[in-house]
Structures are given as structure tokens and as C-alpha cells.
Amino acid sequence: MDKIVNIWNTLTLRISLEGIKPEIWRRFVVRDDISLSELHETIQTVMGWTDSHLYSFSIKKTEYSDEKTVEDLGRGKIVDSITVRSLKLKKEDTFKYIYDFGDDWNHILKVESVSSPEPEITYPVCLGGARSCPIEDCGGPHGYEELLNILFDPDHEEYESMQEWVGPFFDPEEFDLALTNDLLLNNADDDQAEDLKKLSREHMYAVWKLAKNNQLDDMPDEDKLLAKIMLEHEDEFFNNFEFADVLAEREYDPESEVNPFLHITLHAVAENQLKEKEPIEVYQFYNSMRKQKVSHHDTVHLISGMIAPLMFYLIKGHQEFDIDLYRSLLKKCKNKRPDKILDIIDREFESYFGE
Ligand SMILES: [Zn+2]
């Protein structure tokens, strides 16, 4: 959950394919806290490639690629562990992206600007571009030129076979910005689902089994915290945890029942924030509740009550976690009577979501 309070910037990039005229290019904006592997995925989507070949980046004289390629070539660094931010790219910097080591599609990327994120915008986003992506496996820029010549020459002996190969919908001059952004958004959905894998019942089940066997010491810290929280909720949720694998298909009705897996995940988020005192308001709220004799567990529930709607909004609305609202809510509730707080939260979110 660190991401929620991280400050990150955005990079506006212009990418252009070498050796083809008129130019095939795109302009797009990414967060700088993504890894190079995520940048690769974004490039694939904005350009229109199918991500079926090897690739590498060449940035400031260093080559970056996926683990297997780095191993096979015996050189370079692995993309997953490198964030864009760590490369300290500045405006006007350029770097290379090569896709398909057979066809050798060389892309030049230029940093057009580095700036703060705009509210309301989900990144990555494509701003513009021109011309369709070449057909994959056509033999690089030279092969593509030949292919286009044939496609525009009905008398050519390969005309029909090439038409059939590229299919009826291929238009080399077309670039669909709306479609590109839809595809980027779908990828973002997948990423968020990935972020929520902590909610995976299988994972929870594994954590539960270790917790029950007193094997907390063997776990990574994050799981250890989950295990501890699961044990605290053993009385309430024993069956859900014990049979998590069997119940993997079961959905919880948010109106009438508690999703135990979500419940303990929110516990973990709140506990982490308290431990880090980040944001500081969560710590102040906690102290104020404890002074009013509210138990640790109940205080964490109140904090979860504020986090949960914002998390849902984040997942469903493609928005950032609204840290400002969260802070102001904590501040507002700090001096209220504990039994009034859930009502205050409800009312606040009603006006926030405009329902
Ligand atoms: Zn609880």
C-alpha cells in the first residue's frame, strides 16, 4: 500500500519507429514509478504490437531486457527491478527500444517533459499519434515497405496472398486514439487486480495454515502481519479461513455481510499506516480514540471504515486513492464520540460519491 502516499511524477514520451516514412509515432504519458517492464507493456499497446517477440531497451549506454533474454545474451540488466524514475531521465533525453531481434524494429523515445500528475487522469494515457503499426513478422522496415507496395498493386502476383495475410481491416494510415486508450485502461484493470492479489483466497489459505502451525517466523513481514490479524479474528471467521480454498468461488454481499478476507486486508493496511505514522493523521486519530477507551481492534475498524470506500473507488473508478479526503476525514473524526463516527463517515462518502 506504499504507493498510496508516494509522490510520483509523469513523463511525456514521444516514440517513433526508425526507417519508415511517413513517420509512425505516438505521444503518451506514463507514471515514473513504473518498472521498465511496465513501460515495455505500455509501448506494445500504444504502438499496436502483439508482444510476441523479444525486446530490449538501450538507455544511457546500458541494455535492459527480461530475465531470460539477459541470461541468454549474457549481458544487460533485468527490466523488472528498474523503475523509470531511477534512470533520472530529463527533458530532451532520448533512448532506444528494440522489438523483435529478427525484424529489428528500432524505436526512438524522447522525453518531452517531466511533470506532476494531473488529477482525474489515469496513467498511462496516449495523447496522439499517426499511422498504423506495421504488420508483425513482415521483415522489418524494408519488408514492410515492400509489403505496402504489393498491397497497393492489384497486378502484383502476390497481391491476393498478401491481402489475405494482413486481413480485411488493415489500413496502414489508420491510428485509433480512443481504442488505444481503451486498451491501456484494460491493462490498468489487470494491474490493479494484480495489486489486489493479497486478497487471493489461496494466498490467505497458505498464510492461515502457517499461522495455525505456529510458523510465523518463516514468513515475509507482510504475511506475518496478515497471519497475526487472521489469528485475532479466529473466533469470527474460523470457517472462512479454514475452508478458504473450497470457498474460493463464494462472493460476499457487501450490504449484508463482512468479507473476512477484505476485512483482514483492511486491518493490515491500517496497521501499516499506524506503524509508519503515515499519514500522521491516522496516528493522531488512533491516539485520540484510545484516550476515549476505544480498543485497538475497534479503532482499527473505524480506520478501515474510512479506507474501504476509498479503496473501492480506486478499484472501480480508475482514480487515485484520495489521500486528502482520507486525511481530512481522520482529522474531522478525531474529536468525535466513537459511536458517532461511522455515521459521519457514511455522510461524508454520500456527498463525495454524489449519491
Ligand atoms: Zn477486525
Whether the Cβ atoms of residue 271 and residue 300 lie closer than 8 Å to each other: yes
Residue 323 parent element (H or E)? helix 323-333
The pLDDT of residue 198 is 45
Question: If you measure from the C-alpha of residue 343 to the centroid of ligand 1, how many angstroms do you get, rounded to a whole number?
Answer: 18
Calculate the alpha carbon distances from 221 to 99, 225, 226, 296, 325 in Å: 38, 6, 9, 20, 29
C-beta atoms surrounding 258 within 10 Å: 14
Going by C-alpha positions, the residue among 27, 41, 30 that lies closest to residue 8 is 30
- Regarding beta strands 62-65 and 55-59, do their DSSP bridges make them parallel or antiparallel, or are they unpaired? antiparallel
Per-residue model confidence (pLDDT) at position 166: 85
The H or E element that residue 351 is part of is helix 338-353
267 CA distance to ligand 1 centroid (A)?
Answer: 7
Cα of 254 to ligand 1 centre, how many Å? Answer: 16
Closest CA to 5 of 196, 262, 281, 263: 281
pLDDT of residue 1: 39
Question: Which long-range CB contacts under 8 A does 118-123 form with residues at least 24 apart?
Answer: 118/10, 119/320, 120/319, 121/29, 122/185, 122/188, 122/318, 122/319, 123/10, 123/29, 123/30, 123/31
Q: How far is the CA of 301 from the centre of ligand 1 (A)?
A: 6
pLDDT at site 179: 86
Q: Got the DSSP string for 209-244?
A: HHHHTT-GGGS-HHHHHHHHHHHHTHHHHHHHHHTT
- Give the phi and the psi of residue 69 in degrees, each rounded to 5: -65, -45
Please, what is the angle between helix 296-317 and helix 260-276, to 10°?
110
Q: How far is the CA of 345 from the centre of ligand 1 (A)?
A: 18
Average of per-residue pLDDT values in the chain: 87
For the stretch 98-113, pLDDT in tens is 999 999 999 999 999 9
Grid cell in block for residue 51: 508482444
Distance 189 CA to ligand 1 centre (A): 28
Query: Rounded mean pLDDT of 156-165?
Result: 91
Residue 232 CA to ligand 1 centre (angstroms) = 8
Distance from the alpha carbon of residue 145 to the mean position of ligand 1, in angstroms: 64
- pLDDT over 70 for what percent of the chain? 91
Say if CB 80 and CB 35 are below 8 A apart: yes
Residue 89, pLDDT > 80, answer: yes
pLDDT tens per residue across span 215-240: 888 788 888 999 999 999 999 999 88
Question: Strand, helix or coil at 253?
Answer: coil
Query: Concatenated DSSP letters for 329-343?
Result: HHHHHTTS-HHHHHH
**Tens digit of pLDDT for each residue in 274-283?**
988 888 999 9
Cα 266 to middle of ligand 1, angstroms:
9
Q: Domain segments of the chain: what residues? A: 2-131+175-195, 197-353
pLDDT at position 246: 62
Give me ligand 1 centre to Cα 324, in Å. 25
Q: Which three cell numbers stand for residue 126?
A: 496516449
Between the CA of 293 and the centroid of ligand 1 the distance, in Å, is 17
| CA of residue 75 relative to chain centroid, distance | 28
Helices assigned H by DSSP within 221-318: 221-232, 234-242, 260-276, 280-291, 296-317
Task: For residue 70, report the distance from its CA to the centre of ligand 1, in Å.
Answer: 46
Residue 65: band (very low, low, confident or very high) from pLDDT cuts 50, 70, 90 = very high
Distance 233 CA to ligand 1 centre (A): 6
Q: How far is the CA of 185 from the centre of ligand 1 (A)?
A: 33
Nearby residues of 218 by Cβ (< 8 Å), 6 or more positions away = 210
Tens digit of pLDDT for each residue in 4-42? Answer: 444 689 999 999 999 999 999 999 999 998 999 999 999
Highest-confidence segment of 58-62, 251-255, 265-269: 58-62
Q: What is the pTM of this model?
A: 0.56
| Dist. CA 287 → ligand 1 center (Å) | 18
What is the DSSP annotation of 168-218?
TT--TT---HHHHHHHHHHHHHHHHHHHGGGG-HHHHHHHHHHHHTT-GGG
Task: For residue 168, name the pLDDT band (cuts at 50, 70, 90).
Answer: confident
Class of domain 2-131+175-195: alpha beta
Question: What pLDDT is recorded for position 245?
Answer: 58
